[in-house]
Amino acid sequence: MFTHKQLLYRRILLKISGEVLQGVNKFGIDIHALKRIAKEIKSIVDIGIQVSLVIGSGNLFRGTHLSTLGLNRVVSDHIGILSTVINSLAMRDMINSISSINTCLMSAIPLNGICEIYNYERAIHLLSNNFVLIFAAGIGNPFFTTDSAACVRAIETKSDIVFKGTKVDGVYSKDPKKYTDAVLYKELTYKDVLKKELKVMDLSAFVLARDHHLPIVVFNIKKPGSLYRIITNNNNYEGTMIRG
C-alpha cells in the first residue's frame, strides 16, 4: 500500500478514447474491453488516487465523421455528445459491478432520470471523498472534443495531471504506421509539441493545458497494467509526458 507522500499524484483525470472500448470490433462497446479498463481504474483507486474520467465516443459516433456523410455539423456533434453519455453509462455500470467503489456520473447537459448535471463544487467534494467521477457529454457544446472536456474538467477539479489513454504508445515524431524510423518521445515540453506540430490532442485543449500548466501523459491503455505502472513508477514512464 502506498502512503500519500509516496504517490506522485493525488488526483488525476483519465481521458479514454472511445475506440479503446470497441475492443477488436469496428463499432460499439466490447464488454471485455470495458471490464478490463474498469479493472485498470480500480487498481489505481485502490492505492488512494482520486480519479475522474472523460470518455470519448470514437467507437460510436464522432461529429466530424457524421458531417462528412451529409448531416448538419451541429446535429452531428449533438449525436457525438450523446454517444459519450452512452459510453459513460456503460463504464459507470461496469465499475459498479466489479467493485464497491462509489461512482457519480455528471453530464454537461441535463438528462433527468439518467444522471446528474455537472457541478464543479460537488465534483470536488465527491472526488475528495474518493468517488470515481465520470464527466459525460463533453463540455456540452458542438465544435469541441472530449480532449477539451478532459482539460477543462481537470483544471476545474484541480487535478494534478491528465492521462490520455489511447491505443498508441505515446507521441511519435511522425506516424509510426507509415514511417519505420518514427521516434517515440519520452518527454516533451508544450513548446516542443507546438513547434514540431505533433499530434497530442486537439489544439484548443492543448493550449488550455499549457496555459494552466496541466501536465499530460499520452499512453497506451490497451497494454494491461499500463496505467498502474505509470502512476506508481516515477522515473520510467511508459508513454509520453508533456509539461512545461
81 binds ligand UDP, rule: CB under 6 A: yes
Which residue in 153, 159, 187 sits closest to 171, CA to CA? 187
Using the minimum distance from each CB to ligand UDP, give the nearer residue, 63 or 170.
63
Q: Report, in Å, the least distance between residue 188 CB and ligand UDP.
A: 20
Applying CB under 6 A, the span of 35-43, 52-60, 127-135, 155-163 interacting with ligand UDP comes to: 52-60
Residues 13-32 that bind ligand UDP (CB under 6 A): 17-19
SS3 188: strand
* Other CB atoms within 10 A of residue 177 CB: 9
Q: Report, in Å, the least distance between residue 88 CB and ligand UDP.
A: 12
* Other CB atoms within 10 A of residue 24 CB: 7
Measured CA to CA in angstroms, residue 239 lies from 47, 68, 118 at distances of 21, 32, 30
Measured CA to CA in angstroms, residue 82 lies from 72, 94, 145, 228 at distances of 15, 19, 12, 30
Contact between 51 and 89 (Cβ < 8 Å): no
Residues 115-144 that bind ligand UDP (CB under 6 A): 138-139, 141-142, 144
51 binds ligand UDP, rule: CB under 6 A: no
Applying CB under 6 A, the span of 25-33, 51-59, 121-129, 224-232 interacting with ligand UDP comes to: 51-59
Q: Which residues contact 71 (CB under 8 A, 6 or more apart)?
A: 79
Q: Is 180 annotated as a binding residue?
A: no
Using CB under 6 A, which of 38, 63, 157, 198 touches ligand UDP? 63
Using the minimum distance from each CB to ligand UDP, give the nearer residue, 56 or 170.
56
Which residue in 27, 30, 83 sits closest to 56, CA to CA? 83
Cell triple for 171: 507521441
Size of the site for ligand UDP (CB under 6 A): 23
Using CB under 6 A, which of 50, 107, 146, 226 touches ligand UDP? 146
Measured CA to CA in angstroms, residue 116 lies from 16, 27, 39, 137, 211 at distances of 20, 27, 24, 11, 29
SS3 83: helix
57 binds ligand UDP, rule: CB under 6 A: yes
**Cα distance between residue 36 and residue 38, in whole Å:** 5
Using CB under 6 A, which of 38, 45, 77, 222 touches ligand UDP? 77
Binding mask 147-186 for ligand UDP (x = CB under 6 A): xxx-------------------------------------
**Cα distance between residue 212 and residue 221, in whole Å:** 25
Applying CB under 6 A, the span of 38-46, 57-65, 210-218, 236-244 interacting with ligand UDP comes to: 57-65
- Known binding positions for ATP: 15-18, 58, 62, 166, 172, 175
- Known binding positions: 15-18, 58, 62, 77, 139-146, 166, 172, 175
